[in-house]
Structure 1
Amino acid sequence: MSHQGEPYTTGASVADGRAAAATATAADAAHAGAGTARAPAPGWSPAGVRSWNWARLPLGLIIPAALLAAWQLASTSGMFTVVQLPPPAMVLSAAGELVDRGELGTHIAISTQRVLIGFLVGAALGLVLGATVGLSKLADALLAPTIGALRAVPSLAWVPLLILWMKIGEDSKVTLIIIGAFFPVFTTVSLALRHVDRNLVEAARAFGLKGIRLLTTVQLPAVVPAVFSGLRLALAQAWLFLVAAELIASSMGLGFLLIDSQNNGRTDRLLLAIVMLAVIGKITDALLGLAEKWAVKRWA
C-alpha cells in the first residue's frame, strides 16, 4: 500500500543522508578552522613577535646607557669630587688593576660559589617545606606561624648568632645565604599549592595518583610559574644576603671588596663591586629565566 504525498524511504537512504550531512559538517568545520588559522588576531604575526624579541635587547640598554652618561657628566662637571664619584674610566682602570693582580676573578668566583650553594640548598628546603605546608592543614597550623615570624628577622640580626654557633668560616656565610633564599621559595610554593584546582586533583586521584606521585605529576606542574617566581626572588635575595654574609670576617669576595674599599677610601673599587654585583646578578637571573621558559613549556 502506497502513501501519496510522502516520499518512500529505506534504512539505507536514511543512513546515506546522515553520512552526507556528517561529511558536510566536518568539511565546514575544517574549512572554518583553516580560515581561522589563516586569519590571526589583529596586530599579531610571527614576524612581529620575532622582531619584538630582537628589539628587547637594544631597548633594555637605553636606560643603562643613559645612567652611564649621567654618571660621566656628574663626575666631570664639578657636581661631585673624584673621591665622591670617580668617573667610569677610573672604575674601569681599577678593574684592570685587580685583573692584573689576579684578584677580581677570585672575588667573583668565591662570591658566585657562595651564592649558588646557598641558593640551591635554601631553594630545596623552601620547596620541600613549602609543599608540606601547602598540602597539609596540620603542617600549616604547626609550621606557618613560626616560619612567618622568622621571615621578619633582618639579615644582619643573624650574623652574630651564626658567628657564635659556626665560628668564622664558610659555613656561617653559606648558612646566612641559605636563610635568605629559603623564605621566597617557601612562601610562593605554599601559597600556590593551596590554590591548585581541586577538580584537577580529584581527577588525578580518580586515576589512582596519590602522595608523591600526585605531587610530582599533577600539583607541582600546575604551579610551575609560581615556583619559578619564588626561585627568581630567592636568587635575588641570595645576592642581597651575600654582602651581609661577607661581613663575617671575609678576606675575599665581592662583599669583602665592597667593604674593604669603603674602609680604604677607594670609591672606584666600591663602585666596581656594585657594578659587578648588578651584572652577575642579572646574568644568573637571565639563566634562571631560560630554565623557567623550558620548564613552563615542558610541564605547565
Structure 2
Amino acid sequence: MSDAPTGAPVLVTVPGTPGTGPVTDASGHPHRALNPHDRGPARAASSGFWSRRTTRVVGGALLPALLLAAWHHVTTAGLVAPYQLPSPASVWAAAVDLQQRGELGTHVAISVQRVVIGFAVGALVALVVAALVGLSRAGDVLLAPTLAALRAVPSLAWVPLLILWMKIGEDSKVTLIAIGAFFPVYTTVAAALRHVDPHLVEAGRAFGLRGAGLFRSVQLPAVLPSVMSGLRLGLAQAWLFLVAAELIASSMGLGFLLTDSQNNGRVDRILLAIVLLAVIGKLTDSVLAVAEKQLLRRFA
C-alpha cells in the first residue's frame, strides 16, 4: 500500500539511469507543473501559429509596411523637406523613369552578375581553405594566423591595390567581392570542422572510412548547418563589397547609381538604389535559405 496521497506527483525512473524520468501523477499522466520540458497544448499551438507560412509572410511584411506608411506620412505632411527625403511616389517615379530609359534593368543585372560570380569564387576557395585549416593541424598552424590578420583589412583598403594590379575592369570588382565572401565562409566552416564530435569521427574510422570518404560521410553532414550559415553570411558580405567596388570605379551597377545620383543631387535615385540593394539582397538570401532547408532535410 503506497503512503503517497492521491494525486501527488510520482517520480518514475528509467532503469540504469537513477533519478531520471518524467514526473507523473497518480494516474500515470505527466505532471505538467513539474515537467519543464513538456510544452503543453497551449504552447504547442502558439508555436504552430508562428511557424505557419502565412504567418511568417504576413509578419515579415508588417514592419516594412509600417515603415513605408511612416515615410509617406512624414513626406506628405511636410515634416521633412523633399530635397532631403523624397516621398515614396517620387522614388517610384524615378524607378519608372530609369526603366523607360532602359537603364534600371542594366544596373540591376550587372550588379547581380558581379555578386554571383564573386560569391561563387570566394565561397569555393573558402570551403577548400576551411577544410585545410579545420581538418589539418599543419594547415591550422600555417594558415590560420595569416588569414586572421587579412580578415581585419577594411574592404576599401584592397581597392587601390586591385586597380593597380587589374586595372579598372570587371576583374578587380569581382576579386574584391570574392575577398568579401571568402572570410565569413572560411571562418564559420573552419571553426565548425574543428569542433566536430570526435566520437563520430572514430565511429566512421571504425567502419573503414578514411580521407575523402570520412569527410563526405561523417564530417560534412555534421557541419552542413554551419556551411549554409557561412554561405549566407558570405553572400551578405558580397553585397557590401559590391557597393565598395562600384563606388570607386564603375560606370554601371547599383553602386555607380548611388555615386552618380549623389553627384547630381538625385536623392530619389539614391533611395531607389538602397531599396533595390535591400530587396535583391533579401531575395538572394531567400534562395540560399530554400537550398539550406532542402540540403539539411536530405543530408543532415
TM-score range relative to shorter protein: 0.7 to 0.9
Query: Residues 179-220 of structure 1, C-alpha deviation per residue, up to 9 Å, x if partnerless?
Result: 000000000000001111101101101111111111111101
SS of corresponding position for 2:79 = coil
Deviations 1:82-127 (A, max 9, x none): 1110000000000000110111001000000000000111011111
Q: What is the percent sequence identity of the aligned residues?
A: 67
- 1:77 aligns to what? 77
C-alpha distance in structure 1 between counterparts of 2:47 and 2:233, whole Å: 32
1:199 aligns with 2:199: yes
Aligned to 1:185: 185
Secondary structure of the corresponding residue to residue 223 of structure 1: helix
State the 1:167 CA deviation: 0.4
Where structure 2 has 5 or more consecutive residues not aligned to the other structure, the ranges are 1-38
Matched, 1:298 2:298: yes
Q: Distance in 2 between matches of 1:125 and 1:47?
A: 39
1:46 offset after TM fit, Å?
12
Q: TM-score, normalised by structure 2?
A: 0.84
Q: Distance in 2 between matches of 1:298 and 1:45?
A: 27
Secondary structure of 1:158's aligned partner? helix
Partner letter of residue 293 of structure 2?
K
Deviates more, 1:47-56 or 1:168-177: 47-56
Deviation per CA, 1:134-184, whole angstroms, max 9, x where unpaired? 011111010000000000000001000100000000000000000000000
Deviations 1:239-276 (A, max 9, x none): 01100111242111011101110111000000000000
In the other structure, the counterpart of 2:245 is: 245
Amino acid aligned to 1:93: A
User: Take 2:114 and 2:225, find their aligned partners in 1: how far apart are those partners?
Assistant: 26
> 1:48: Cα distance to partner?
3.7
The question of whether the paired residues in 2 share the 8 Å contact of 1:181 and 1:235 is answered with yes
Aligned-residue RMSD, C-alpha: 1.9
Q: Cα 1:194–1:51, aligned 2, differ >3 Å: closer, same or farther?
A: closer
Q: Tell me the distance in 1 between the aligned counterparts of 2:182 and 2:47.
A: 41
Q: Which whole-Å CA distance do the structure 2 matches of 1:156 and 1:127 have between them? A: 24
CA distance in 2, matches of 1:262, 1:290: 36
Q: Where in structure 2 are the equivalents of 1:55-74 lying within 5 Å?
A: 55-74=55-74
- Contact 1:168–1:248 (8 Å) recurs in 2: no
Does structure 2 retain, via aligned residues, the 8 Å contact 1:163–1:172? yes
Unpaired segments of 5 or more residues in structure 1?
1-39
TM alignment of 1:96-135, pairs within 5 A: 96-135=96-135
2:146 and 2:260 map into 1 onto residues whose CA distance is 37
Aligned counterparts of 1:45 and 1:79: Cα–Cα separation in 2: 44
Deviating above 2 A after TM superposition, structure 1's stretches of 4 or more consecutive aligned residues are: 40-53, 76-79
The answer as to whether partners of 2:246 and 2:255 remain within 8 angstroms in 1 is yes
1:77 CA displacement: 2.5
TM-score, reference length from structure 1:
0.84
Distance 1:272 1:50 in 2: 32
Task: Number of aligned residue pairs: give it.
Answer: 263
* Alpha-carbon contact 2:49-2:55 (below 8 Å) kept: no
**1:129-278 equivalent positions in 2, closer than 5 A:** 129-278=129-278
C-alpha separation between the residues in 1 aligned to 2:240 and 2:227?
20
Structure 2 distance, partners of 1:88, 1:49, is: 33
Q: Distance in 1 between matches of 2:267 and 2:242?
A: 20
Give the structure with higher Rg (CA). Answer: 1
Q: Is the 8 A contact 1:184 1:233 kept in 2?
A: yes
